[in-house]
Amino acid sequence: MVGEPDRQFSFRGRPRSARKGETLLSVLSRDRIPLLHRSIQYHRPQGPLCGIGHCTGCLVRVNGRPNVRACRYEPTSGDSVTTENAWPSPSWDLLGAIGLLMPGGVDSLHGLRRPAVATRLYQRLVRRLAGTGEPPTDAVSRALSAPAVERSPEVVVIGAGEAGRSVAAALAARGITPVVVERGLHPPTTDGAELLGATTAVFLPPPAETGERRFTLLAFREPAQGVRIDARSVVVATGGYDASLLFGGNDRPGVLTADAALALAAPSRPPPFHEAVVVGGGRRAAEVLSSCGDAVTAVVAPGEIRPEVVRAASDRGILLYPRSLLLRAGGRKHVRSVRLRARGGGSETTIACDAIVLAHRRVPHAQLFFQSGAAMEWRPGVGAYAPTVSANGATSVPGLFASGSVAGISPSEFAHHAETVADAVVRGVGPTGSAPSPTPDVAATELVGYYRELLRVPGHGRWVACPCVDVLVAEVERAVRSGYRGIEVVKRYTSLGSGICQGRYCLPDALLLLSILEDRPPAEVGYITQRPPVVPIPLAALASLPNPPALEVHP
Amino acid sequence: MTFARDSYRTVVVGAGIVGLFTAYHLARAGGGPILVVDRGFLSSGASGRNGGGVRQQWETRGTVRLARESVQAYRRFGLEFGFNIWFRQSGYLFLAENEGELARLRNVHALVASEGLPSKVLDGDGIAQLIEGIAPGAAVGGTYLESDGLLYPFPALWGVYEAVRSLGVEVALGVEAHGVEVRDGKVAGLLTSKGPVATSTVVNAAGGWSGDLSRRSGLEVPNVATRHEILATEALKPFLDPMVVRVSDGLYFSQSMRGEVIGGLTLPHRPGTSRGQGSSPAFLTTMARALVGLVPRLGSVGVLRAWSGFYDDTPDGFPVIGEDPRLPGFVHGNGFGGHGFMLAPATSRRIALAALGQPTDLDPAQFSPRRFLAPTPVATVERLQLG
């Protein structure tokens, strides 16, 4: 990137510059995690949480296009970037008064239903406040139209992480040229495979019952190009992501997942924090310490802290707080501290910090398996659903395979597993034997105990259970108290999980929460139907895709 | 779980908006004890899967009147049931792409206006004022009725659900109805996945599953379950007030109170397919093309999720309301063709009357189950089965 001129763009009217390959969020996070967004209902300061294109915390408007994720957008010269849903600015938003005036939340189900004139006025006001970005301009949509990409390979591999690349290489070695679909903006290539980068797979319905039983995969390439792939076999290696955690102020700017911290710290640039608290005592926490340990001040874990994390921390003089409850993040517009309490009712401590990095729990990116009708199972270890996978990576859907961590394979086994999967794909064999079960950082059973304690903390009802839609814990508790049971109904009652992240960051916690509130195992709380698309896909991308030969309607 | 009692005066099959509203009117008329059974969870069927439109523009007087009465009921809903359904009367706009379609809409307008509803006929310019960013020339004209509107379906379900429970109605979820038990040529009970239950009256308000229940009860009916898909986009600041419906392909869309654009269109249906409520690539691409074709600026807007539900269609497009003449005690409250939510308040009142053995003011030629038993084919057909 040496010799490449910086890209000059404007952010809120002020000139900024980006290097090639640098995301907008990365540019805006040079000093610290920025405040770009206000929550949709209460206008709370909301920070970029996930760093991988799912949460609402970095939504901005770019050249008249609303709801662009700063973490997935690389500025080009002349871009005009503005913020949304805050007036006059995300830092000083007058609408923040809504949250301050109604600290217990707005009861949109029972409130505001007086007749006649008042109702109309309420509705008009509420409607004005709804939504995030202003609608796009005509010019934006015209500029985005591009011819669709269509491929019909033998095999498509979804995910070009280490696991996906291993599978692609193993297939190439067996004479198959797979198409590899990868969401990352600059993925590494694999010899013998065709790589579609910056491409997100969003919809994998079950294969057509008639004829050849080929899969149809819908995807889109940034910014809005439609992609359609027909393949005989599909290998999904979508890995996992770092989950959120329930505590006061858990969407404050400065609270971020390990995914975000690692994305913003890498490569070869200082992290956007100086004294972070890392949450978690397992492998993921160790990764954060090895990548940006110099900017970490303490490690806090819901459970025990593993020896490798203890070693990495003591080398740097980082304080350790095992078996601790995270009560709340301090600081109004940015994290300034975190308040802890020892598990089991110990004393409280406050640690000064400028970021809270969540590295306590990694859950699988399993949405495509749900869509395709694959048998899923509750993994009590991670506290999430994952496909039922046999030792050779086969799922219950013929032709659909899983590899890598989404299949419960540990990184040291990726290469070996890839060979097994490639053999099974080539021979077209189905499930054989049972798969290994993964070892999580914190067992979800332990997290249930953690949440049981947390639900006794005074004031927890005001905590945010679903940041995208601004659903408070009290609303979930109220739904259960009123007799609405199961995640599907509680979702519809509270709107939890219906926001832009498709429930990624509220569901893992909500399932455990409901299991406690309803007093039954998490697996009985059910799961939200994982509807297409996995990630919002622009209408223009869909519109550019030709219809299948017959209007094939899948079950 | 079994039921609280061995026997009920009435068992309603289907805890959707029609079944719950019917139970509500029955309970208020002293028709208890009442049991409502549903195969899924609350809101798992079409009542939790529709686009929330409530309109009064129809091709027959009987339907216009039921719809007008329903609109009045939804206006009072918050006070009566304690839940805010966010009923917003910001109009329904029907679009015509050619003069033939516009002529048809003019007839609808004449009928609706004759019922005292201030319907308007608009030209292309009038439509452009109501749809910001519409493609030039996309519509030659249309009709608009401002008192039509949109509501948020879920709280309406919760409201009626809580009301019937406080009136002593038992609601059993996750219970499948397998058919009725017949004794002496009359309904004697309902067979369910949780065992039999005695009753002299069964109300079939099972929506997309109502044809199955009738047939399993030995009654041949013309109801067909057809799957319709729908999608929602990410939330934008308000830019569209009315529900828009295009006559040619059934494209419909509106902007919800939360800011999402929600809509669908009619795809050719393959009968005999599974009852899965999933989505298809064909719908997503066809719908996206239709929507972006009409409002090009929506091209960069992301589709957030897609889902589907079942319409319970009848050959003439009208619901089936009343006791089945072949089986005393078997009362139909079905065949709403995707419009159960908008007609539920008014129709369920009549369904309850029928279940109590009382006469209704409905025209039997249009609504009675008898019309399909007549040797001559049905006379009128509702073609405005859109949106």
What type of residue sits at position B223? N
Q: Per the structure block, which two tokens stand in for B271?
A: 């009968």
CATH code of the domain made up of B88-147+225-311: 3.30.9.10
Chain B interface mutation, best of A83, A475, A553, highest count of B Cβ atoms under 10 Å: A553
Cα separation, B20 vs B174, whole angstroms: 15
CB contacts under 8 A, A 104-123 vs B, are 108-115, 119, 123
Chain B interface mutation, best of A370, A487, A500, A542, highest count of B Cβ atoms under 10 Å: A542
Cα separation, A227 vs A540, whole angstroms: 11
pLDDT at A96: 84
Residue A123 banded pLDDT, cuts 50, 70, 90: confident
Identify the DSSP state of A93.
Answer: B
CATH-assigned architecture of domain B7-48+154-223+315-372: 3-Layer(bba) Sandwich (3.50)
Q: Tell the burial category of B8 from Cβ atoms under 10 Å away from its Cβ (0-12, 13-18, 19+).
A: buried
pLDDT at B268: 76
In this predicted structure, the answer to whether residue A551 has a pLDDT above a threshold of 50 is no
In this predicted structure, the answer to whether residue A550 has a pLDDT above a threshold of 50 is no
pLDDT at A57: 96
For residue range B153-171, what is the model confidence (pLDDT) as tens digits? Answer: 999 999 999 999 999 999 9
CB contacts under 8 A, A 536-555 vs B, are 536-543, 545-548, 551-555
Q: Per the structure block, which two tokens stand in for A446?
A: 């332990």
In this predicted structure, the answer to whether residue A289 has a pLDDT above a threshold of 90 is yes
CB-CB neighbours of A509 under 10 Å: 23
CB contacts under 8 A, A 486-515 vs B, are 486, 488-489, 492-493, 498, 500, 502
What type of residue sits at position B31? G
pLDDT at A239: 97
pLDDT at A553: 44
For chain B, domain boundaries: 7-48+154-223+315-372, 88-147+225-311
Whether residue B229 contacts residue B279, with contact meaning beta carbons closer than 8 Å, is answered with: yes
For residue range A425-460, what is the model confidence (pLDDT) as tens digits? Answer: 999 877 776 665 555 555 666 788 999 999 999 999
Flag whether residue B318 sits within 8 Å of chain A, measured between CB atoms: no
For residue range B237-272, what is the model confidence (pLDDT) as tens digits? Answer: 999 999 999 999 999 999 999 999 999 998 876 655
Q: What is the mean pLDDT of residues B118-131?
A: 97
Cite the DSSP H helix spans in A273-402. Answer: 283-292, 307-315, 367-371
- Tell me the β-bridge partners of B120: B144
The beta-carbon neighbor of A539 closest among B133, B257, B301 is: B301
A69 neighbourhood in chain B, CB within 8 Å: none
CA distance B289 to chain A (A): 4
In this predicted structure, the answer to whether residue B304 has a pLDDT above a threshold of 80 is yes
CA distance B23 to chain A (A): 19
In this predicted structure, the answer to whether residue B67 has a pLDDT above a threshold of 70 is yes
ipTM more than 0.90?
Answer: yes
pLDDT at A119: 75
How many residues in total does chain A contain?
Answer: 555
The beta-carbon neighbor of A492 closest among B48, B237, B300 is: B48
In this predicted structure, the answer to whether residue A211 has a pLDDT above a threshold of 60 is yes
Q: Can you list the domains of chain A with their CATH numbers?
A: 16-143 (no CATH), 149-241+363-427 (3.50.50.60)
Closest residue by Cα to residue B148 from B257, B254, B263, B242: B242
In this predicted structure, the answer to whether residue B297 has a pLDDT above a threshold of 90 is yes
In this predicted structure, the answer to whether residue A115 has a pLDDT above a threshold of 60 is no
The set of residues, in sequence order, having a beta carbon less than 8 Å from that of A325 and lying 6+ positions away, is: A302, A340, A341, A342, A343, A450, A453, A454, A457
CB contacts under 8 A, B 35-54 vs A, are 41-44, 48
pLDDT at A1: 45
For residue range A332-388, what is the model confidence (pLDDT) as tens digits? Answer: 999 999 999 999 988 999 999 999 999 999 999 999 999 999 999 998 888 899 999
Flag whether residue B372 sits within 8 Å of chain A, measured between CB atoms: no
Strand pairing class (A355-358; A276-279): parallel
pLDDT at A191: 94
Cα separation, A150 vs B22, whole angstroms: 51
pLDDT at A385: 92
How many separate helices (H) and strands (E) can be counted in chain A?
Answer: 16, 31
Angle at B302 between CA A60 and CA A358, to 5 degrees: 60
For residue range A144-195, what is the model confidence (pLDDT) as tens digits? Answer: 888 999 999 999 999 999 999 999 999 999 999 999 999 999 999 999 999 9
pLDDT at B378: 60
For residue range A192-210, what is the model confidence (pLDDT) as tens digits? Answer: 999 999 999 999 999 877 7
CA distance B384 to chain A (A): 24
For residue range A262-286, what is the model confidence (pLDDT) as tens digits? Answer: 999 876 788 999 999 999 999 999 9
Query: Cβ A67–B234 below 8 Å, yes or no?
Result: yes
Cis amide leading into B328 (omega within 30): no
Max CA separation in chain A (angstroms): 72
pLDDT at A108: 79
